[in-house]
Amino acid sequence: MQPAMYSGRQWLDAIAIANRGLNYGDGLFETMRVHCGELPLWPRHRARLQEGAARLGIVLPDASFIQARIEECIANVDADVLKLLVTRGDGGRGYAPPADVDPVWALSLHSLPQAISTGLRLHVCETRLAPQPALAGIKHCNRLEQVLARLEVQRAGCDEGLMRNTESHPVCATSANLLAHRNGRWWTPPVETCGVAGVLRGWLLGQGLVEVAALSMDEVLHADALALCNAVRGILPVSMLGSRTWVASPAIHDLQVQLAMAYPMFSAAAVTA
Amino acid sequence: MQPAMYSGRQWLDAIAIANRGLNYGDGLFETMRVHCGELPLWPRHRARLQEGAARLGIVLPDASFIQARIEECIANVDADVLKLLVTRGDGGRGYAPPADVDPVWALSLHSLPQAISTGLRLHVCETRLAPQPALAGIKHCNRLEQVLARLEVQRAGCDEGLMRNTESHPVCATSANLLAHRNGRWWTPPVETCGVAGVLRGWLLGQGLVEVAALSMDEVLHADALALCNAVRGILPVSMLGSRTWVASPAIHDLQVQLAMAYPMFSAAAVTA
């Protein structure tokens, strides 16, 4: 399927050079798992998108219009990834947004990433997440920190990267949240000053399966088990962080089973399909 | 003139939805003053662009090819603004850049901003500049902090905004550097952890007309004179910051005269033309 682009409710032929997403990363996005013609986590993605739009002062297109376009897009899709990109729109005088502007947004389908049968090897990234409460938690399009961290991961030959804040506390991976198992419970770092409030992290917190706690690097390295989670891949075990290694953990298996009961698309069979 | 877009050295018809500038702000830009068919400050803009590309790992298109396209673009232009936008290119798996990718870049001409005959009224922005040495100084496309600050400026009915770092030290305006006159000398804050190393700021420092110093908010409020500088508008006096006001200052006039001797496009006559 070709990407579908819109300006407000109008079909769009091309992205303008004056698009504010292109020039300033002035936009938001959601990357969503499609399962049997549906987006099981859509309400959580929509809520985060609305929160981001409110924080940035971006006017979203009509919710029912977006929803109808999404339904058209994924009606016959069995298992895939749908990306929704919403930019503030075009133009304005430099950084100052124009007064009345239609958001320019797009839907595109992408293949599911390859399943990883073994645990993830994590690189400890030097690129830090800067503290910025105004942008923390939301899925905005200013992602150079993640791009730089990903370049580090590539150079290190690892699968993903652990990103730390300026106080050297672990926060998240480049495109997933961090889960650490300690003393029989699962913990995930706060995302009030940096990092993204992942949709699956939100579900795990809501279910009481995971709790929020600031973790030191030492606490993460000494965790009984480490995992990453995101809304596309579910819960993935970590096998290596720097020189520390972990073997398969029943705590991770338990969490994966709980998730698969609520969302069968994340069952091991679906993930490796 | 329509914007001219390229993928490497090839003419481009449209910006792809997979463009990394559009998705992640994964790019750089320069906004340059055109004067009588030339870009008098081009060597400084080019140097900052190259520094940004090296820091982000973006491969720039061939320098002579860019230069030739710029010359075509501005050959018959008397006074205008030329924007050069360079994105890393298209695609990749999420934040991970593709291995071999042609940069996608564009040239567009814009009108000179309206001349302001009186001093600028500055709003003290609540949006802070987060400390990020990996991105500080360069003119990258992750500009949500500036966009949010500009929204504050609009709401306050001011002309520009003073942006502070997380330690509440003034750093710059949303699209200009800050110059404060104290004890008979001009000072500008450092940009090693946040802010942009402005091209005109670089010229002023190189000429020994301005020196770098961290300034407290109190020191800025008690400055004898305050001005902003950027490569499009030159040196602009500040008349108001919060409740503090300033009258026209001979120190600013002197600095403007020095600049106009080197770059006549910034003479008062040219600016108000």
**Phi, psi (degrees; rounded to nearest 5) at A257:** -65, -45
Q: Can you tell me the distance from the alpha carbon of B154 to that of A273, in angstroms, rounded to the nearest whole number?
A: 52
Nearest to B25 among A5, A24, A128 (CB): A24
Tell whether A52 is within 8 A of chain B (Cβ): no
Q: Can you tell me the distance from the alpha carbon of B30 to that of B140, in angstroms, rounded to the nearest whole number?
A: 9
End-to-end CA distance of chain B: 21
pLDDT, tens only, B112-124: 998 777 899 999 9
Q: Identify the closest residue of chain A to B3 by CA–CA distance.
A: A17
Of the residues B82, B110, B138, the one at which a domain ends: B110
Residue that is written with structure tokens 């480490």 in the block: A226
- Indicate whether A144 and A205 sit together in one domain: yes
Q: Can you tell me the distance from the alpha carbon of B209 to that of B189, in angstroms, rounded to the nearest whole number?
A: 14
CA angle (B144, A82, A65) in 5-degree steps:
80
Residue B54: strand, helix, or coil: helix
Over range B6-11, report the average pLDDT.
95
Q: Can you tell me the distance from the alpha carbon of A86 to that of B228, in angstroms, rounded to the nearest whole number?
A: 33
* Residue burial A200-233, b: 16+ Cβ < 10 Å; e: rest: bbbbbbeeeebeeeebeeeebbebebbbbbbbbb
Tell whether A79 is within 8 A of chain B (Cβ): no
pLDDT, tens only, A116-129: 778 999 999 999 99
**C-beta atoms surrounding B159 within 10 Å:** 19
Over range A17-35, report the average pLDDT.
97
Give the per-residue pLDDT at A133. 98
CA angle (A239, A241, A244) in 5-degree steps:
80
- Indicate whether A130 and A243 sit together in one domain: yes
Query: Domain for residue A18, yes or no?
Result: yes
**Are the CB atoms for B58 and B104 separated by under 8 Å?**
no
Sequence-ordered alpha helix ranges (H) in B119-189: 144-156
Residues 6+ apart with CB under 8 A from A86: A27, A28, A29, A49, A53, A58, A60, A61, A103, A104, A105
From chain A, the residues in CB contact with B18 under 8 A are 108
User: Which contiguous run of DSSP H or E holds residue B185?
Assistant: strand B185-188
Distance from CA of A33 to the nearest CA of B (A): 14
- Indicate whether A95 and A151 sit together in one domain: no
Query: Domain for residue A11, yes or no?
Result: yes
- Indicate whether B140 and B27 sit together in one domain: no
Q: Can you tell me the distance from the alpha carbon of A71 to that of A34, in angstroms, rounded to the nearest whole number?
A: 11
Strand partners, A120: A238
Tell whether A19 is within 8 A of chain B (Cβ): yes
**Phi, psi (degrees; rounded to nearest 5) at B149:** -65, -40
Q: Can you tell me the distance from the alpha carbon of A28 to that of B24, in angstroms, rounded to the nearest whole number?
A: 9
Residue B183: strand, helix, or coil: coil
Distance from CA of A248 to the nearest CA of B (A): 27
Chosen from B23, B109, B165, B174 to mutate, greatest number of chain A CBs within 10 A: B23
Distance from CA of A42 to the nearest CA of B (A): 20
- Indicate whether A105 and A124 sit together in one domain: no
- Indicate whether B95 and B124 sit together in one domain: no
- Indicate whether B86 and B172 sit together in one domain: no
Beta-carbon contacts below 8 Å between A and B = 163
- Indicate whether B99 and B155 sit together in one domain: no
Of A108, A256, A271, the closest CA to residue B16 belongs to A108
The radius of gyration of chain A's CA atoms, rounded to the nearest angstrom, is 19
Q: Identify residue A219 by its one-letter amino acid code.
A: E
User: How many domains does chain B divide into?
Assistant: 2
Q: Do A25 and B25 count as a contact with CB atoms less than 8 A apart?
A: yes
- Indicate whether B193 and B235 sit together in one domain: yes
Residue B265: strand, helix, or coil: helix
Q: Can you tell me the distance from the alpha carbon of B174 to that of B153, in angstroms, rounded to the nearest whole number?
A: 9
Of the residues A90, A110, A130, the one at which a domain ends: A110
- Indicate whether A217 and A252 sit together in one domain: yes
Over range B6-21, report the average pLDDT.
96
Over range B220-234, report the average pLDDT.
97
Distance from CA of B185 to the nearest CA of A (A): 31
**Phi, psi (degrees; rounded to nearest 5) at A201:** -55, -45
Q: Can you tell me the distance from the alpha carbon of B241 to that of B226, in angstroms, rounded to the nearest whole number?
A: 9
Q: Which domain holds residue A179?
A: 120-271
Q: Identify the closest residue of chain A to B86 by CA–CA distance.
A: A23
From chain B, the residues in CB contact with A142 under 8 A are 24-25, 142-144
Over range A21-25, report the average pLDDT.
98
Tell whether B154 is within 8 A of chain A (Cβ): yes
Over range B23-48, report the average pLDDT.
97
- Indicate whether B125 and B93 sit together in one domain: no
Of B117, B226, B232, the closest CA to residue B172 belongs to B226
Query: Domain for residue B28, yes or no?
Result: yes
**C-beta atoms surrounding B54 within 10 Å:** 11
Over range B102-106, report the average pLDDT.
97
Q: Can you tell me the distance from the alpha carbon of A204 to that of B14, in angstroms, rounded to the nearest whole number?
A: 41
Q: Identify the closest residue of chain B to A232 by CA–CA distance.
A: B94
Q: Do A85 and B113 count as a contact with CB atoms less than 8 A apart?
A: no
Give the per-residue pLDDT at B231. 97
Q: Read off the DSSP letter of residue A118.
A: S
- Indicate whether B71 and B38 sit together in one domain: yes
> Residue A115 — very low, low, confident or very high, per pLDDT cuts 50/70/90?
confident
Tell whether B143 is within 8 A of chain A (Cβ): yes
Query: Domain for residue A115, yes or no?
Result: no
More confidently predicted of A22 and B2: A22
**Mean pLDDT lowest for which of B12-16, B123-127, B264-268?**
B264-268
Q: Do A97 and B147 count as a contact with CB atoms less than 8 A apart?
A: yes
Q: What is the CATH number of the domain that holds A62?
A: 3.30.470.10
> Residue A268 — very low, low, confident or very high, per pLDDT cuts 50/70/90?
low
Nearest to A166 among B95, B97, B131 (CB): B131
Nearest to B85 among A23, A97, A150 (CB): A23
Tell whether A113 is within 8 A of chain B (Cβ): yes
Nearest to A134 among B31, B56, B148 (CB): B148
Q: Can you tell me the distance from the alpha carbon of A246 to that of A268, in angstroms, rounded to the nearest whole number?
A: 20
pLDDT, tens only, B70-93: 999 999 999 899 999 999 999 988
Q: Read off the DSSP letter of residue B182.
A: E
Residue B262: strand, helix, or coil: helix
Chosen from B6, B17, B123, B150 to mutate, greatest number of chain A CBs within 10 A: B17
Residue A171: strand, helix, or coil: strand
Distance from CA of B213 to the nearest CA of A (A): 23
Tell whether B5 is within 8 A of chain A (Cβ): yes
Tell whether A174 is within 8 A of chain B (Cβ): yes
Residue B85: strand, helix, or coil: strand
Query: Domain for residue B115, yes or no?
Result: no
- Name the average pLDDT for chain A: 95
pLDDT, tens only, B188-215: 999 999 999 999 999 999 999 999 999 9
Over range B125-139, report the average pLDDT.
98
Q: Do A145 and B128 count as a contact with CB atoms less than 8 A apart?
A: no
Of the residues A60, A77, A110, the one at which a domain ends: A110
Q: Read off the DSSP letter of residue A129.
A: B
> Residue B273 — very low, low, confident or very high, per pLDDT cuts 50/70/90?
very low
Over range A52-78, report the average pLDDT.
95
**Are the CB atoms for A186 and A259 separated by under 8 Å?**
no
Give the per-residue pLDDT at A270. 46
Residues B16, B19, B24, B29: is their CA dihedral positive or negative?
negative
Query: Domain for residue A157, yes or no?
Result: yes
Q: Model-level pTM greater than 0.90?
A: yes
Tell whether B146 is within 8 A of chain A (Cβ): yes
Distance from CA of B184 to the nearest CA of A (A): 33
Over range B152-162, report the average pLDDT.
97
Tell whether B242 is within 8 A of chain A (Cβ): no
Q: Identify the closest residue of chain A to B23 by CA–CA distance.
A: A141
Tell whether A219 is within 8 A of chain B (Cβ): no
pLDDT, tens only, A198-253: 999 999 999 999 999 999 999 999 999 999 999 999 999 999 998 999 999 999 99
Q: Which two tokens stand for residue A117?
A: 């049968």
Q: Do A141 and B25 count as a contact with CB atoms less than 8 A apart?
A: yes
